[in-house]
A and B are shown apart, each in its own frame.
Chain A
Amino acid sequence: MSMAWRVRTLRVVVYAALLVGVLVLQTAAFSFLPFYGVHPDLTLLVVLSLGFLRGPAVGSALGAAGGFLSDMLTGQFIGLDAVIMSLLGCLAGLVGTRLVVEKLYVPVGLSAVATPLHLFLYAIGVAAFGSRLPFLEGFATLVWPLIAYNALAMIAVHPLCVFVHRLFETKLVLPRRNVGGTELHH
């Protein structure tokens, strides 16, 4: 088993643990610290942040996994959030490949755009599958506090994702680097 393969496997495990960890925090910790009745969507923020850093393919995959986990804990419309978060992860990845600005305001701005999109697409999806949500009244009252709370949470989430991203980026480059004409073997 090569070092690069092992690091990639470890990265998948860490990403999975990160998604489960933020979902636990979202449902069991932050849901008890509401701001105007809403709690931050930490899973969405991790998907956006890592999608922004790693590109559309990883963003989509993480979105699908995070959304699916979230769906499983909701117990209804399983797969809907997976599809929506996958799209948003892909979108974040596309933004990341076009913007080289390494400033915190970019992912924060991204969360401000993705939050209403997520709410809107979920309500549309639920309506498309035959259920109803008080879309107009709910959207108007939910969206502003949620944009603010998510943007605030992104200030903490993005540096964490950057840390995790850089951790593995370094480990993937090192093993193949030639030092004094000799290839390193681990």
Chain B
Amino acid sequence: MRYRRWLLALVPVLLLAVAGIIVRTSTYREELTWAERAVYEAVAPLQSLANGAVRSVRSWIESFVELRHVQAENERLRAEIAALRAERDALLEAGRQNEALRELLELTRARTEELAVAEIIARSPSNWLESITINKGRSHGVEPGMAVVAPEGAVGKVRYVTETTAEVVLITDARSSAGGRVRDTGHLVLVEGTSNPTDELLKVTLLTWEAQLNPGDVIVASELSRIFPKGLPIGVVEWVAPPESGLIPWGMMRPFVDLSRLEWVIVVKKQEIDAPWWEE
């Protein structure tokens, strides 16, 4: 009975302490606590393992579907295909990874001081917050605030780092915003995430009153962007809100990078990149 009374008295104290921690962690912090770093580091190998298994299964299913299609067309070759199936499954996965890595390697050749290629090992546990965990951290030169990109364009920004991992907030997250400009007209825009994983669109708002925003406009990072290197493609405007819905023209755009299927990313260690590949 006495024990229960103590426990009840402890509840408000605990709730106050928790509220304090939430307030402390609700805003941007330069560093993670040792406890958070320990959890990240301990869980990362398990995540890497689980992620690898899922990729293998997905690849196996994809190759299985593909093989079934081929078998329907080539009935008389069935016996031969069956013999080659196991070898082909392994080669398909290796080939797919090889292709992605070769593309990244082209970009990073002789640029290791500027760029670091990283594998995505996990995503945020919350459906509200859109972030990813990559397998590169402080020991690879990754620091908070660095831009994360893919060959097609912008991906996000490094938020926290541990020794071997980093958390990247995606451009589609509601906590994310970046300066951009319309590639053809040069008008400045603000690109904001919406945290809506079902359609993965970004909100784009023109920063000038007189200009127009049109579906099909390509948005790139502007000179004023403090995250992404200038000129980096971000996305394409999909629809524009009718003029009467607000004074400032705004619309929704689709990022060039398919963030839901992304497996590899590049961390930009320097904002000024010599001979950026998107300008070639």
Interface, chain A (partner B; CB < 8 A): 20, 23-29, 31-34, 36-39, 41, 43, 69-70, 72-83, 119, 122-123, 125-126, 129-134, 137-138, 141-142, 145-146
- Is B128 part of the contact surface with A, judged by Cβ < 8 Å? yes
CB distance from A121 to the nearest CB of B (A): 11
A23 contacts B58, C-beta separation under 8 Å: no
Q: Which of B25, B124, B199 contacts A141 (CB 8 A)?
A: B199
A76-B127 contact, Cβ under 8 Å, with A24-B46, A32-B51 = no
Interface code B82-111, partner A: CB below 8 Å = 1, 0 otherwise?
A: 000000000000000000000000000000
4 additional A-B pairs beyond A79-B22, A146-B127, beta carbons within 8 Å, are A26-B125, A73-B40, A79-B25, A130-B27
Annotate B219-234 by CB proximity to A: 1 below 8 A, 0 otherwise. Answer: 0000000000000000
CA distance A123 to B195 in the complex (A): 12
B254 touches A (CB below 8 Å): no
Alpha-carbon separation in the docked complex, A132 to B175 (Å): 8
Q: In the bound complex, do residue A24 and residue B50 qualify as a contact, i.e. CB atoms below 8 Å apart?
A: yes
Q: Which one of A28, A36, A81, A132 lies within 8 Å of B54 (CB-CB)?
A: A28
Contact A74 B260 (CB under 8 A): no
- Partner pick for B25 among A77, A119, A133, A145, CB 8 A cutoff: A77
The residue on B at minimum CB distance from A35 is B198
Q: For B159, give its contact among A37, A75, A130 (CB under 8 Å).
A: A75
Q: How far is the CB of B49 from chain A (nearest CB, A)?
A: 8
The 3 A-B residue pairs whose C-beta atoms are closest, nearest first, are A37-B197, A31-B123, A28-B47
Q: A74-B129, A138-B128 are known contacts. Are A37 and B18 too (CB-CB below 8 A)?
A: no
How distant is A22 from chain B, measured CB to nearest CB, in Å?
Answer: 10
The answer, yes or no, to whether B39 is at the interface (CB within 8 Å) is yes
Please indicate the chain B residues that have their CB under 8 angstroms from the CB of A126 in the complex. Answer: 26, 128
Let me know if B196 and A138 touch, CB within 8 A.
yes
Question: Does A142 lie within 8 Å of B127, measured CB to CB?
Answer: yes
Check B26 against A37 for contact (C-beta < 8 Å): no
User: A23: which of B51, B125, B195, B198 is its contact (CB, 8 Å)?
Assistant: B125
Nearest chain B CB to A136's CB is how many angstroms away? Answer: 11
Known A-B contacts A27-B125, A28-B46; A75 and B196 likewise in contact (beta carbons under 8 Å): no
B43 close to A (CB within 8 Å): yes
Q: Is the pair B126, A81 in contact by a Cβ cutoff of 8 Å?
A: yes
CA gap between A132 and B57 in the complex, in Å? 37
Q: Give the chain A neighbours of B123 by CB distance below 8 A.
A: 27-28, 31-32, 39
B275 at the interface (CB under 8 A from A): no
Chain B hits for A29, CB < 8 A: 50-51, 53-54
- Contact across chains for B36 and A75 when beta carbons are under 8 A apart: yes
Q: Name which residue of chain B comes closest to A137, CB basis.
A: B196
Interface flags for B117-135 (1: CB within 8 Å of A; 0: not) read 0000111111111010100
Report the bound CA distance from A9 to B36 in whole Å: 25
Bound CA span A103–B23, Å: 41
Task: Write the nearest CB–CB distance from A31 to chain B, whole angstroms.
Answer: 4
Q: List 19 A-B contacts (CB under 8 A).
A: A25-B50, A28-B46, A29-B51, A33-B58, A34-B260, A37-B199, A38-B127, A38-B197, A69-B39, A70-B126, A75-B32, A76-B25, A76-B26, A77-B26, A79-B19, A82-B18, A138-B195, A142-B198, A145-B198
Contact of B196 among A25, A72, A142 (CB under 8 A): A142
Q: Looking at the assembled complex, report how far the CB atom of B88 sits from the nearest CB atom of chain A, in whole angstroms.
A: 23
A28 neighbours in B (Cβ, 8 Å) = 46-51, 54, 121-123
Do residues A38 and B18 form an inter-chain contact, with CB atoms below 8 A?
no
Chain B: minimal CB distance from A132 (Å) = 7
Complex interface: chain A residues within 8 A of B51 (CB): 28-29, 32
B143 at the interface (CB under 8 A from A): no
User: How far apart are the CA atoms of A132 and B194 in the complex, in Å?
Assistant: 10
